[in-house]
Amino acid sequence: GGTSECQPDSVIHVQRTGAGLTCRSQVTYKTAPTRMRPETSSTARPAVSYDAWRHRYTLGVTGALVALLTAGGLVTSTGSGLAVPDWPLSFGQFFPPMVGGVLFEHGHRLIAAAVGLLIVILGAWYWAREPRTWARRLALLALFAVVVQGILGGVTVLLRLPTAVSVAHACLAQAVFAAVGFLALATSRRFVADRPEPLVRDGKVPTWSLGALACGLIYAQLVLGAVVRHTGAGLAIRDFPLALGRIIPPLQSAPVSLHFAHRVVAVAILLIVAWIATRVMKPGVAWRDLGAPAATAVALVLLQIGLGGAAVLTRLAVLPATLHVVNGALLLAACGVLTVRAWRGDRAARQEAPVAGAVPDPAAGSAGSIGARLGDYLALTKPRVTFMVLVTTAAGFYLGTRGPFDAGRLVLTLIGTLLVAAGTSALNQYAEREADSRMLRTRDRPLPAGRLAPSAALLFAVVISIVGLGILATGVNAVSAILAGLTLVLYIVVYTPLKRMTPLSTLIGAVPGALPPLIGWAAAQGSIAPGGLALFAILFIWQLPHSLAIARIYREDYARGGFRLLPVTHPDGGMTERQILLHAVALLPVSLTPTILGIAGPVYFAGALVLGLGLAASAVPVLFDRSTRAARRVLLVSVVYLPVLLGLLAFDRNILP
């Protein structure tokens, strides 16, 4: 009748008193036969403890399956499927001479036998020690599937590689890999012992549903890829990224239709994986559980598309064709891990749903509307700078064109350069996010303001940069892709850290800033010629007075950010002003070289002379008036100077032979 300490095996009644909450133990399970003890409940879950050795063994079997997939891919890529015509023996022997295609086919059989033995041990271990019924059944299902897999391998040899059997053999191998990989995840310490982090739902469709959709599409893509490989449709379309010179090829034959469908599904997978990544890589989302597999999935899907393109362009060379198969399995595994973790996080969030009337945590919700988020991603690319990069790239392409103008190549050049330039700007903001938070002119950028997570910005920058380089490499030419990659590396790896170390960083940073017109020239000609180098020189010297004027205007802000630019290290000595004038004067003769090289005519020569004199004249007053107003005047003149100069070049260019 009196109050007592609450016991876990009691039916608890709570009453509110003046002193707070009081627990009374009235009826225990023993006196209430209609209530069952937790340990005898039919719905109770079995106790699961982390078994390190079983987890490690399962991981090892998963790795062995990757080796088996690689061996199988090599058999198909090398055309060794019938190098050994009998089965289960090889030329009537257990160990025939390992030469030619026999090495790949019989090696594949030996690896398959070893993996089969490992899975037999796995099934027995799980049946004896695993308390979860579904895990035991999945292990036995994997064992049954690997037996069927071996039989299919033998049948496909004895029947001389029938398409249906070969495709089933390849797809079942991916299914076995997925099943054992899931067992490896389910026996990990994080899955068994750690409590999943609740995942806030972003939108009506939960993240795990998108992950499941991605997994389904990836497996369907693996099936479709197996059909393409085993029907000989891998080279039905021999160009990339276009298809028979078009975006959508004429679908007049089954091989072309199969091949193009494979590419369309790849694009769909890329979009879904990118959608998932933008969800999980932002503030307030469980990065520990979801960020790593999401980043891995994005990297793998980009690699998969690149390997597919390489396989086409190299006419199904062994290495890219085999890696394309193996990487597809790894992509399936990454999306599977992401899906399972997202599902557990969603379930944990539902179990911890707040009571009615609770005040929601604003930091746990969405990071903003879709429009605002897209605006933040756009801000990462520095649109005005990127637009000027495109202008100079287009000018270089136009001036470097010989013969008929190739509008399609120009479009691919601009798209690739746009993505690389945008990715470079985003990487720069990622690297300088802490310094930007201390500067008045940059503290409202998406990263220092906290509207985007650094991991999301990094992923975005890496993805668009890789895609841009891939477009230039496969759709334009290697020289333009190399120059674009050099631009990115010099800007991020060299120039960005040097800004904190020495004023010479401005001189070094002018190099990647001057490469876009050379990229355009190389895209048009496939090489670097004196005309392209002249454009590079003009852009290189033009940047120096332009950048120094900006640094002079925002000198105090750059000092707060810790940047050792010339106006910061020499605030009162007039060094910045003298350098502005020196480079403005040096630009004048360099700007005349296109006419000297025969790229442009006399109209350009006269216009460049007038523009150069005007820029130099605007720089003279800064020697005597070391004010922000004088530096701003130089900046405005330099902004007008460049597009007008390029316009004159385009107007008065000489057609190259």
C-alpha span between 113 and 120 (Å, rounded)? 11
Indicate whether 386 pLDDT > 50: yes
pLDDT, tens digit, 9 for 90 and up, residues 455-502: 888 888 998 899 889 888 888 888 999 999 999 999 998 999 998 888
- The reported pLDDT for the residue numbered 7 is 39
The H or E element containing residue 14 is strand 10-17
Percent of the chain with pLDDT over 70: 86
Q: Which residue has the tokens 């037999």?
A: 120
Report pLDDT digits (tens) over 551-586.
Answer: 888 888 888 888 888 888 888 768 888 888 999 999
Say if residue 30's pLDDT is above 60: no
Confidence (pLDDT) at 6: 40
Within 13 Å of residue 35, how many CA atoms lie on the same side as its CB?
11
118-154 burial, b if ≥16 CB within 10 A, otherwise e? bbeebbebbeeebeeeebbebbbebbebbeebbebbe
- The answer on pLDDT for 541 being more than 50 is yes
**Predicted model pTM:** 0.55
Distances (CA, A) of 157 to 92, 116, 224, 417: 14, 19, 21, 49
Q: What is the pLDDT of residues 169-208, one digit of tens each?
A: 988 999 999 999 999 999 998 888 777 776 665 556 788 8
CB-CB neighbours of 350 under 10 Å: 12
- Of 190 and 264, which is predicted with more confidence? 264
Pairing of strands 10-17, 20-28: antiparallel
Cross-strand partners of 25: 12
Question: Is 26 a residue whose pLDDT tops 60?
Answer: no
Lowest mean pLDDT among 9-18, 607-616, 640-649: 9-18
Mean pLDDT of 433-456: 88
Backbone dihedral angles phi then psi of residue 426, each to the nearest 5 degrees: -65, -40
* Mean pLDDT across 221-247: 90
Confidence check: pLDDT of 34 > 80: no
Are 188 and 55 in contact, with CB atoms under 8 Å apart?
A: yes
